């Protein structure tokens, strides 16, 4: 998925129909429809439901739209700043990104930025350190519930976790339907530093909570993705880890 495809989806959902989106994007309606179909095919999911007059996002489409809108707003703010500073930007920017999210989601954005502004030196650290406030780091991206009060923070969107497994694993063992079944399945997930992995869920109106004991643990999500695809167990990972690119 590239940035243009994500922008197209955001414009379609914002406009409410393909014709209005086509006018905003200065494209034909047929061309907008074609690119939307290609995006859905590449992801293997339906992103919007089409009627003769409107489009409505599916659950997956709405989540992708939220990410896309945040990215678009951030890029627009960055572009405005860049325009005010002049076209010949130069200098060094140190950026620290989580190893998994940075590689699987942010990498292509940073490449596109570098292509636009070749005179800027990007010093990119792929790491999961908590002490991101260091002299060599100007911008730190982190997946956390609440940012420290000592930093100026801006949200890029929410991260949603999913329980998933490969088709081969599901055919051999089936998929867990309850939290208790998930506990008894070989679990693939990231570790929780300094504390046990505790998971809560609702079965109807009953709240269930238990400690989980993963069989494959890593902070590097691309490796966890490989383990899930290899059929080693049930993955409990962010949705971007198992989405097709």
Domains and CATH numbers, the chain: 3-64 (1.10.10.10), 88-159 (3.40.190.10), 161-242 (3.40.190.290)
For the stretch 94-127, pLDDT in tens is 999 988 888 888 888 899 999 888 888 999 998 8
Residue with more model confidence, 244 or 31:
31
pLDDT tens digits for range 179-202? 788 888 999 998 765 455 777 776
Say whether pLDDT at 169 is over 70: yes
Cα(7)–Cα(167) distance, integer angstroms: 31
In angstroms, the CA 97 to CA 132 distance is 9
CA-to-CA distance for 165 and 163, rounded, in angstroms?
7
Please name the residues in contact with 101: beta carbons below 8 A apart, sequence gap of 6 or more. Answer: 141, 143, 159, 221, 238, 240
Prediction pTM value? 0.53
**Across residues 6-20, what is the average pLDDT?**
85
pLDDT confidence band for 132 (50 / 70 / 90)? low
Per-residue confidence (pLDDT) for residue 61, from 0 to 100: 84
Contacts 24+ apart (CB under 8 A), 74-80: 74/154, 74/156, 75/3
Strand order in the sheet with 216-217: 161-164, 234-238, 187-189, 216-217
Spatial distance between the Cα atoms of 185 and 176, rounded to a whole number of angstroms: 7
The per-residue pLDDT for range 142-168, each reduced to its tens digit, is 887 777 777 788 887 788 888 899 999
Q: Which pLDDT band, with edges at 50, 70 and 90, does 51 fall under?
A: confident
């Amino acid at each position: 998925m590239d940035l243009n495809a994500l922008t197209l989806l955001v414009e379609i959902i914002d406009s409410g129909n393909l014709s209005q989106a086509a006018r905003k994007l200065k494209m034909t309606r047929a061309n907008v429809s074609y690119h939307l179909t290609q995006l859905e095919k590449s992801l293997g999911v339906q992103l919007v439901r089409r009627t003769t007059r409107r489009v409505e996002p599916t659950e997956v489409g709405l989540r992708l739209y939220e990410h896309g809108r945040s990215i678009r707003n951030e890029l627009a703010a960055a572009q405005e700043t860049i325009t005010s500073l002049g076209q010949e930007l130069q200098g060094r920017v140190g950026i620290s990104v989580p190893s998994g999210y940075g590689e699987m989601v942010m990498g292509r954005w940073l490449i596109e930025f570098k292509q636009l502004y070749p005179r800027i030196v990007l010093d990119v650290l792929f790491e999961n350190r908590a002490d991101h406030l260091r002299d060599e780091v100007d911008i730190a991206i982190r997946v956390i519930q609440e940012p420290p009060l000592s930093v100026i923070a801006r949200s890029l969107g929410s991260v949603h976790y999913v329980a998933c497994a490969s088709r081969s694993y599901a055919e051999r063992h089936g998929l867990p339907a309850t939290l208790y079944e998930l506990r008894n399945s070989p679990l693939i997930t990231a570790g929780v530093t300094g504390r046990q992995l505790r998971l809560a869920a609702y079965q109807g109106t009953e709240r269930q909570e238990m400690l989980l004991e993963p069989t494959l643990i890593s902070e590097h999500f691309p490796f966890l993705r490989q383990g899930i695809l290899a059929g080693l167990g049930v993955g409990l990972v962010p949705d971007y880890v198992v989405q097709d690119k």
